[in-house]
Chain A
Amino acid sequence: MKFTIQINEGPYQHQASDTAYQFTKAALEKGHEIFRVFFYHDGVNNATRLTSPPQDDRNVVNRWSALAEKHNLDLVVCVAAAQRRGIADADEAKRNGKDADNLAPGFRISGLGQLIEGGIQADRLVVFGD
């Protein structure tokens, strides 16, 4: 089956990203296809490479980056939600006149159309959030 995953909550504060990660990993292990993982609302905070959790805890951001690299996942961060919350890649930072960028490897910033397309293209859109 082909899945699109939507994550609506940030890391650590909420379980959504953890559950979505475990779901995505399990689906891939079972041979399913992940069409896209879309980060929305505070979910965009899963994409900052400046996250530095304690050593004895999971690193939610790095874990997504590693999974993306291993399975060639399409991790998409909503541009409008990202701008509100200070998540930017180099291009976005330049465009908005910011002096820094923070997008973690394996993520890309794009529009909400990517979420709708994900809903159209996948067999199931699974939403993780409140």
Chain B
Amino acid sequence: MSDTKKFLYVNRKAPYGTVYALESLEVVLIGAAFEQDVQLLFMDDGVFQIAKGQDTGEAEMKNFSPTYSALGDYEVTKMYVDKQSLEERGLTLDDLIHLTYEDEDDDYAEKDSIRLVSREEIAALMEEQDVILSF
């Protein structure tokens, strides 16, 4: 397993209505150990997975949103968000968790992980992947 492939995780569902988001995150965390070229894409209701200020207390479910902030430490640094999905839901970049990573090639400068992309850019992104896991 010496070869590196481009992996894209496509997250399309809201975080707590179904288990897909949580179990997708579990794949990303395990997958990080395999040193592949990893990208995450949030679109449709998946953009709510990284919404700020999640509180699941009264729903008696585990709030796993803090884990997204740790992904930078796992060298998962490319998080694409579909601009149109945000707009359709009345959200902006400011409504999302501020996800960052330390760039070891740039004196560990803190950089933003989230990149807003258009549907056309998403098509191009998908085109260049070896493996697409859709959740």
Contact = CB atoms under 8 A, between A and B. Distances in A.
- Does A associate with B in a complex? yes
Given A121-B1, A125-B131, A125-B133, A116 B23 contact: no
Contact of A113 (B33, B131, B132, B135): B33
Contacts, number: 49
A126 B114 CA distance: 27
Contacts of B1: 117, 120-121
B30 A112 contact: yes
20 contacts: A8-B135, A41-B23, A81-B23, A112-B26, A112-B27, A112-B30, A116-B27, A116-B36, A117-B34, A119-B5, A119-B133, A120-B34, A120-B36, A120-B131, A121-B1, A125-B132, A125-B133, A127-B132, A129-B134, A130-B20
A130 B19 CA distance: 12
B3 A120 contact: yes
Interface residues of B, number: 20
A45 interface: no
Contacts of A117: 1, 34
A120 B26 contact: no
Chain A residues touching B, majority SS: helix
Interface centre among A8, A120, A130 (most CB of B within 10 A): A120
B67 to A, nearest CB: 14
Given A41-B19, A125-B131, A127-B134, A116 B26 contact: no
Interface in B16-47: 19-20, 23, 26-27, 30-31, 33-34, 36
Contacts of A113: 30, 33-34
A53 interface: no
A113 to B, nearest CB: 6
Interface string A76-116: 00001100100000000000000000000000000111011
